[in-house]
Amino acid sequence: MAKQIGVLSRNKDYFPTTELLKDINRRNNVSGVFLSTQYIFPLISSSGVDARFANQSLLPLLGVIPRIGRSQTNLGLLILKHFELMGTPSTLSAEALFLSRDKFRCYQTLSKIMGIQLPRTILINNPFQVDQILKAFKFPLVIKLPDATRGSGTMLALNPKSAEEIIESLFMRSTEPIMIQEYLYSGPQHEAPQSADIRVIYIGNEIIGSMKRTAPKGEWRTNFALGAECEAYTLSSEDEELVHQIADRIGIEVAGIDLFPTQNGTFVLEVNACPGWKAFEMANPKIHVAEKIIDYLLTKIHQ
């Protein structure tokens, strides 16, 4: 019987999940199995730790590739920790997911890297004296939820009035903290801002490629889902070193790391623990991300 690699995801039809399963099943002596996060039941008993899948004993796995969506972060952390206790090799640790998933927590961790540039950011837990807090920033500024993804939960405030309205609205809907962040310019501030950033795909101590994402006209967010144009990009040696430092600090093995080049150097925007790669492969058609991830997991298993 072929040894199995599990792809842990909420939905079998998500592009990365589908691509990973296809690539695993093209290989000899190994098969891919879809593991829905909804039907994994961690089990603890006096004899140790185990897990159930769809009410059956979880078959021994060669390894697992997690694809944990933001809405399932807490469940994902628990499941990843259980796989670690079971000794199942994985491409994502519970600690790396914990540190990267919340943007402000991620910034806290990265701030220990000497010389790193992070956008000036403040975390607020309530709207108390928000008018005074806003005086510490220039406009426009960015308002984010710490777990925002794909551009959702990220807003641009052009003036204090709009910022206060956005913050008030967010706190009316949720008790979660809010991030206020400086707006970065790639060129001189008196010029029209260029909304473009760099997504780096990192797998197992290796930068496999990068792309530049440019927002469409009338949009400042650079997410592919919002219509951004994507093209292959070559990192400088300094930025390559920065990416390795980031991954090492977070302890992450597979990641999408977002950088923002400016006249004053490169800023770090985000570390994504479960990046998509459809746009990346469109910009870099000779690079097959799923294949790279599986190769890395198999290398890790056979160490």
Over 70: is that where the pLDDT of 87 sits?
yes
Over 80: is that where the pLDDT of 132 sits?
yes
Residue 194 pLDDT? 53
Nearest by Cα to 88 from 149, 160, 7: 7
Mean pLDDT rounded to a whole number for the chain = 91
What CATH number is given to the structural domain containing 23? 3.40.50.20
Count of domains in the chain? 3
Based on the domain organization, do 74 and 13 belong to the same domain? yes
User: What residues make up the domain containing 40?
Assistant: 3-90
- Mean pLDDT, rounded, for 166-182: 91
Based on the domain organization, do 42 and 110 belong to the same domain? no
Based on the domain organization, do 24 and 56 belong to the same domain? yes
- Mapped to the 3 state alphabet, what secondary structure does the chain carry? CCEEEEEEECCCCCHHHHHHHHHHHCCCCEEEEEEEHHHEEEEEECCEEEEEECCEECCCCCEEEEECCHHHHHHHHHHHHHHHHHCCCECCCHHHHHHHHCHHHHHHHHCCCCCCCCCCEEEECCCCCHHHHHCCCCCCEEEEEEEEECCEEEEEECCHHHHHHHHHHHHHHCCCCEEEEECCCCCCCCCCCCCEEEEEEEECCEEEEEEEEECCCCCCCCCHHHCCEEEECCCCHHHHHHHHHHHHHHCCCEEEEEEEEECCEEEEEEEECCCCCHHHHHHCCCCCHHHHHHHHHHHHHCC
Based on the domain organization, do 108 and 222 belong to the same domain? yes
Residue 128 is encoded by which pair of tokens? 């108390």
- Mean pLDDT, rounded, for 116-135: 94
- List, in sequence order, every residue forming a beta bridge with 81; answer none if it has no partner: none
pLDDT in tens, 204-248: 999 999 999 988 877 777 777 767 789 999 999 999 999 999 999
Q: Is 302 inside a domain boundary?
A: no
pTM: predicted TM-score of the whole model, two decimal places: 0.93
Phi, psi dihedral angles at 249 (to 5 degrees): -65, -40
Q: Is 65 inside a domain boundary?
A: yes
Based on the domain organization, do 31 and 141 belong to the same domain? no
| Residues belonging to the chain | 303
Residue 214 is encoded by which pair of tokens? 């440019």
Based on the domain organization, do 204 and 106 belong to the same domain? yes
* From 13-17, 20-24, 143-147, the region with the lowest mean pLDDT: 143-147
Nearest by Cα to 67 from 291, 290, 295, 302: 290
Contact 113, 274 (CB under 8 A): no
Over 50: is that where the pLDDT of 190 sits?
no
Based on the domain organization, do 125 and 11 belong to the same domain? no
pLDDT in tens, 24-53: 999 998 999 999 999 999 999 898 898 888
Over 60: is that where the pLDDT of 192 sits?
no
Based on the domain organization, do 176 and 253 belong to the same domain? no
Over 90: is that where the pLDDT of 198 sits?
yes
Based on the domain organization, do 83 and 176 belong to the same domain? no
| Spatial separation of the C-alpha atoms in residues 164 and 174, rounded to whole Å | 15
Q: Is 187 inside a domain boundary?
A: no
Over 80: is that where the pLDDT of 255 sits?
yes
What CATH number is given to the structural domain containing 246? 3.30.470.20
- Tell which of 130, 149, 182 closes a domain: 182
